[in-house]
Chains A and B, each alone.
Chain A
Amino acid sequence: SQQGEEDPQALSIQEGENATMNCSYKTSINNLQWYRQNSGRGLVHLILIRSNEREKHSGRLRVTLDTSKKSSSLLITASRAADTASYFCALASGGSYIPTFGRGTSLIVHP
Protein backbone atom coordinates (compact mmCIF):
# COMPACT_ATOMS: atom_id res chain seq x y z
CA SER A 1 0.00 0.00 0.00
CA GLN A 2 1.14 3.55 -0.60
CA GLN A 3 0.64 6.82 1.20
CA GLY A 4 -0.23 10.08 -0.40
CA GLU A 5 1.92 13.11 0.27
CA GLU A 6 0.03 16.30 1.07
CA ASP A 7 1.35 19.73 0.22
CA PRO A 8 1.66 22.20 1.84
CA GLN A 9 2.11 20.84 5.35
CA ALA A 10 0.57 23.99 6.76
CA LEU A 11 -1.60 26.74 5.30
CA SER A 12 -2.76 29.96 6.93
CA ILE A 13 -5.35 32.18 5.23
CA GLN A 14 -7.97 34.82 5.96
CA GLU A 15 -11.66 34.10 6.10
CA GLY A 16 -13.22 34.45 2.66
CA GLU A 17 -10.11 33.36 0.79
CA ASN A 18 -9.83 30.08 -1.06
CA ALA A 19 -7.65 27.26 0.25
CA THR A 20 -5.97 24.75 -2.03
CA MET A 21 -4.12 21.66 -0.85
CA ASN A 22 -2.58 18.94 -2.95
CA CYS A 23 -1.93 15.23 -2.68
CA SER A 24 0.60 13.36 -4.79
CA TYR A 25 1.15 9.63 -5.04
CA LYS A 26 3.43 7.19 -6.82
CA THR A 27 1.48 4.26 -8.28
CA SER A 28 -1.99 3.81 -9.72
CA ILE A 29 -4.98 4.03 -7.42
CA ASN A 30 -8.52 2.71 -7.22
CA ASN A 31 -9.79 5.81 -5.53
CA LEU A 32 -8.63 8.79 -3.53
CA GLN A 33 -10.46 10.18 -0.54
CA TRP A 34 -10.23 13.46 1.35
CA TYR A 35 -10.92 13.70 5.08
CA ARG A 36 -11.04 16.50 7.62
CA GLN A 37 -9.97 16.21 11.26
CA ASN A 38 -10.68 18.79 13.91
CA SER A 39 -8.13 18.87 16.70
CA GLY A 40 -7.98 15.59 18.59
CA ARG A 41 -11.20 14.25 17.09
CA GLY A 42 -12.13 11.60 14.55
CA LEU A 43 -11.81 12.03 10.83
CA VAL A 44 -14.76 13.09 8.71
CA HIS A 45 -15.03 11.82 5.17
CA LEU A 46 -15.41 14.67 2.66
CA ILE A 47 -15.20 13.35 -0.88
CA LEU A 48 -14.21 10.13 -2.65
CA ILE A 49 -13.05 10.37 -6.25
CA ARG A 50 -12.55 7.28 -8.35
CA SER A 51 -9.62 6.79 -10.70
CA ASN A 52 -11.85 7.27 -13.76
CA GLU A 53 -13.25 10.58 -12.48
CA ARG A 54 -11.64 13.97 -12.94
CA GLU A 55 -13.61 16.32 -10.72
CA LYS A 56 -16.17 16.21 -7.92
CA HIS A 57 -17.97 18.89 -5.98
CA SER A 58 -19.62 19.00 -2.60
CA GLY A 59 -20.85 22.38 -1.40
CA ARG A 60 -17.78 24.64 -1.12
CA LEU A 61 -15.42 21.74 -1.79
CA ARG A 62 -13.99 20.87 -5.18
CA VAL A 63 -11.71 17.91 -5.73
CA THR A 64 -9.78 17.24 -8.91
CA LEU A 65 -7.80 14.17 -9.88
CA ASP A 66 -5.10 14.06 -12.54
CA THR A 67 -4.01 10.45 -12.94
CA SER A 68 -1.36 11.36 -15.51
CA LYS A 69 0.36 13.55 -12.91
CA LYS A 70 -0.63 11.24 -10.05
CA SER A 71 -2.01 14.11 -8.05
CA SER A 72 -5.22 15.44 -6.58
CA SER A 73 -6.21 18.81 -5.21
CA LEU A 74 -8.82 19.89 -2.69
CA LEU A 75 -10.14 23.43 -3.07
CA ILE A 76 -12.19 25.04 -0.31
CA THR A 77 -13.84 28.19 -1.59
CA ALA A 78 -14.85 31.17 0.55
CA SER A 79 -13.22 29.66 3.62
CA ARG A 80 -14.62 30.12 7.12
CA ALA A 81 -12.98 30.01 10.54
CA ALA A 82 -14.83 26.71 11.08
CA ASP A 83 -12.82 25.17 8.22
CA THR A 84 -9.76 25.27 10.49
CA ALA A 85 -8.67 21.64 10.69
CA SER A 86 -6.22 19.10 9.32
CA TYR A 87 -7.01 17.69 5.89
CA PHE A 88 -5.85 14.26 4.80
CA CYS A 89 -5.85 12.41 1.55
CA ALA A 90 -6.22 8.64 1.66
CA LEU A 91 -5.48 6.21 -1.13
CA ALA A 92 -6.97 2.86 -2.00
CA SER A 93 -4.62 1.15 -4.41
CA GLY A 94 -3.74 -2.24 -5.82
CA GLY A 95 -6.53 -4.70 -5.14
CA SER A 96 -7.25 -3.15 -1.76
CA TYR A 97 -10.11 -0.93 -0.66
CA ILE A 98 -8.33 -0.09 2.59
CA PRO A 99 -7.49 3.65 2.82
CA THR A 100 -3.93 4.59 3.75
CA PHE A 101 -3.33 8.14 4.89
CA GLY A 102 -0.72 10.82 4.38
CA ARG A 103 0.55 13.25 7.02
CA GLY A 104 -2.07 15.86 6.22
CA THR A 105 -2.24 19.61 5.68
CA SER A 106 -2.95 21.81 8.67
CA LEU A 107 -5.26 24.65 7.64
CA ILE A 108 -5.83 27.72 9.79
CA VAL A 109 -8.49 30.20 8.71
CA HIS A 110 -8.26 33.51 10.55
CA PRO A 111 -11.54 35.33 11.22
Chain B
Amino acid sequence: ETGVTQTPRHLVMGMTNKKSLKCEQHLGHNAMYWYKQSAKKPLELMFVYSLEERVENNSVPSRFSPECPNSSHLFLHLHTLQPEDSALYLCASSQDGLTWGAFFGQGTRLTVV
Protein backbone atom coordinates (compact mmCIF):
# COMPACT_ATOMS: atom_id res chain seq x y z
CA GLU B 1 0.00 0.00 0.00
CA THR B 2 1.25 3.47 -0.90
CA GLY B 3 -0.82 5.46 1.59
CA VAL B 4 -3.19 6.71 -1.11
CA THR B 5 -6.58 5.00 -1.15
CA GLN B 6 -9.05 5.18 -3.99
CA THR B 7 -12.67 4.05 -3.94
CA PRO B 8 -14.36 2.38 -5.59
CA ARG B 9 -11.86 0.09 -7.32
CA HIS B 10 -14.29 -0.70 -10.12
CA LEU B 11 -17.27 1.27 -11.39
CA VAL B 12 -19.73 0.62 -14.19
CA MET B 13 -22.05 3.48 -14.98
CA GLY B 14 -24.54 4.44 -17.64
CA MET B 15 -24.16 7.59 -19.68
CA THR B 16 -26.93 9.33 -17.75
CA ASN B 17 -25.65 8.45 -14.29
CA LYS B 18 -23.90 10.65 -11.78
CA LYS B 19 -21.14 9.11 -9.70
CA SER B 20 -18.09 10.20 -7.73
CA LEU B 21 -14.61 8.82 -7.33
CA LYS B 22 -12.90 9.31 -3.99
CA CYS B 23 -9.24 9.60 -3.10
CA GLU B 24 -7.78 9.84 0.38
CA GLN B 25 -4.21 10.30 1.59
CA HIS B 26 -2.85 10.57 5.10
CA LEU B 27 0.76 11.15 4.12
CA GLY B 28 0.69 14.85 4.94
CA HIS B 29 1.17 15.75 1.28
CA ASN B 30 0.16 19.17 0.03
CA ALA B 31 -0.57 18.34 -3.62
CA MET B 32 -3.07 15.91 -5.13
CA TYR B 33 -3.64 14.87 -8.72
CA TRP B 34 -6.08 13.10 -10.99
CA TYR B 35 -4.68 11.22 -13.98
CA LYS B 36 -6.51 9.28 -16.69
CA GLN B 37 -4.94 6.16 -18.18
CA SER B 38 -6.43 4.82 -21.39
CA ALA B 39 -5.14 1.87 -23.39
CA LYS B 40 -2.13 2.68 -25.56
CA LYS B 41 -1.98 6.32 -24.44
CA PRO B 42 0.37 8.10 -22.04
CA LEU B 43 -0.95 8.94 -18.62
CA GLU B 44 -2.98 12.11 -19.01
CA LEU B 45 -2.87 14.71 -16.28
CA MET B 46 -6.39 15.95 -15.57
CA PHE B 47 -6.33 18.13 -12.47
CA VAL B 48 -3.85 19.25 -9.83
CA TYR B 49 -4.64 20.71 -6.43
CA SER B 50 -1.99 22.38 -4.32
CA LEU B 51 -2.93 23.43 -0.79
CA GLU B 52 -6.57 22.75 -1.76
CA GLU B 53 -6.47 25.21 -4.66
CA ARG B 54 -6.80 23.96 -8.22
CA VAL B 55 -3.58 24.85 -10.01
CA GLU B 56 -3.97 22.87 -13.20
CA ASN B 57 -6.90 21.94 -15.39
CA ASN B 58 -5.75 20.31 -18.57
CA SER B 59 -8.68 21.14 -20.86
CA VAL B 60 -10.77 18.46 -19.26
CA PRO B 61 -14.45 18.34 -20.35
CA SER B 62 -16.89 19.78 -17.85
CA ARG B 63 -18.52 16.38 -17.37
CA PHE B 64 -15.57 15.79 -15.03
CA SER B 65 -15.71 17.99 -11.94
CA PRO B 66 -13.01 17.81 -9.24
CA GLU B 67 -13.41 18.75 -5.61
CA CYS B 68 -10.77 19.07 -2.90
CA PRO B 69 -12.49 19.80 0.42
CA ASN B 70 -9.27 19.45 2.44
CA SER B 71 -5.67 18.43 1.96
CA SER B 72 -6.40 14.75 2.57
CA HIS B 73 -9.34 14.21 0.24
CA LEU B 74 -9.94 14.57 -3.46
CA PHE B 75 -13.06 13.74 -5.42
CA LEU B 76 -13.86 13.45 -9.09
CA HIS B 77 -17.54 13.94 -9.82
CA LEU B 78 -18.76 12.33 -13.03
CA HIS B 79 -21.93 13.06 -14.98
CA THR B 80 -23.21 12.30 -18.47
CA LEU B 81 -20.03 10.49 -19.43
CA GLN B 82 -19.32 8.95 -22.82
CA PRO B 83 -18.08 5.41 -23.56
CA GLU B 84 -14.68 6.86 -24.52
CA ASP B 85 -14.30 8.04 -20.93
CA SER B 86 -13.86 4.42 -19.89
CA ALA B 87 -10.36 4.20 -18.43
CA LEU B 88 -8.32 3.72 -15.28
CA TYR B 89 -8.50 6.87 -13.16
CA LEU B 90 -5.51 7.34 -10.91
CA CYS B 91 -5.15 9.64 -7.94
CA ALA B 92 -1.73 10.69 -6.68
CA SER B 93 -0.28 12.91 -4.01
CA SER B 94 3.11 14.47 -3.40
CA GLN B 95 4.96 16.78 -1.06
CA ASP B 96 7.43 19.25 -2.46
CA GLY B 97 7.54 17.63 -5.90
CA LEU B 98 11.04 18.82 -6.63
CA THR B 99 12.40 16.52 -3.97
CA TRP B 100 10.12 13.53 -3.82
CA GLY B 101 8.06 11.59 -6.33
CA ALA B 102 4.33 11.09 -6.34
CA PHE B 103 2.46 8.36 -4.50
CA PHE B 104 -0.35 6.75 -6.47
CA GLY B 105 -3.52 4.99 -5.45
CA GLN B 106 -4.55 1.69 -7.02
CA GLY B 107 -6.93 3.40 -9.39
CA THR B 108 -10.60 3.16 -10.24
CA ARG B 109 -11.40 1.12 -13.34
CA LEU B 110 -14.34 2.99 -14.89
CA THR B 111 -16.54 1.50 -17.58
CA VAL B 112 -19.20 3.69 -19.20
CA VAL B 113 -21.97 1.74 -20.90
Q: List residues of B (48-94) whose CB comes within 8 Å of A's CBs.
A: 48, 56, 88, 90, 92, 94
Assess A98 versus B45: contact at CB under 8 Å? Given A42-B104, A44-B104, A45-B102: yes
B8 at the binding interface (Cβ < 8 Å): no
Q: Cβ of B101 and Cβ of A42 under 8 Å apart?
A: no
Is A48's CB under 8 angstroms from B100's CB? yes
Question: Which of the residues B33, B42, B105 comes within 8 Å of A3, measured between beta carbons?
Answer: B42
CA A86 to CA B56, docked complex, whole Å: 26
Considering the complex, give the chain A residue whose CB is closest to the CB of B44: A101
Q: How large is the interface on A (under 10, 10 to 19, 20 to 34, 35 or more residues)?
A: 20 to 34
Counted as pairs of residues, one from A and one from B, with CB atoms less than 8 Å apart, the total is 68
Using known A-B contacts A88-B43, A103-B41, determine if residue A44 contacts B97 with beta carbons closer than 8 Å: no
Residue of A nearest to B101 (CB): A45
**A24–B4 alpha-carbon span in the complex (Å):** 29
- Asked if A92 is at the interface of the complex by the 8 Å CB criterion, the answer is yes
Binary contact track B1-37/A, C-beta < 8 Å → 1, others 0: 0101010000000000000000000000001010100
Query: Given the complex of chains A and B, what is the CA–CA distance between A33 and B43 in angstroms?
Result: 14
Return A59 CB to nearest CB of chain B, in Å: 16
Does chain B have a CB within 8 A of A30? yes
Let me know if A41 is at the binding interface, CB within 8 A.
yes
Residue positions of A touching B, CB distance < 8 A: 1, 3, 30-31, 33, 35, 40-48, 50, 88, 90, 92, 97-104
**5 closest Cβ pairs, A-B complex:** A97-B97, A45-B101, A42-B104, A101-B43, A43-B104
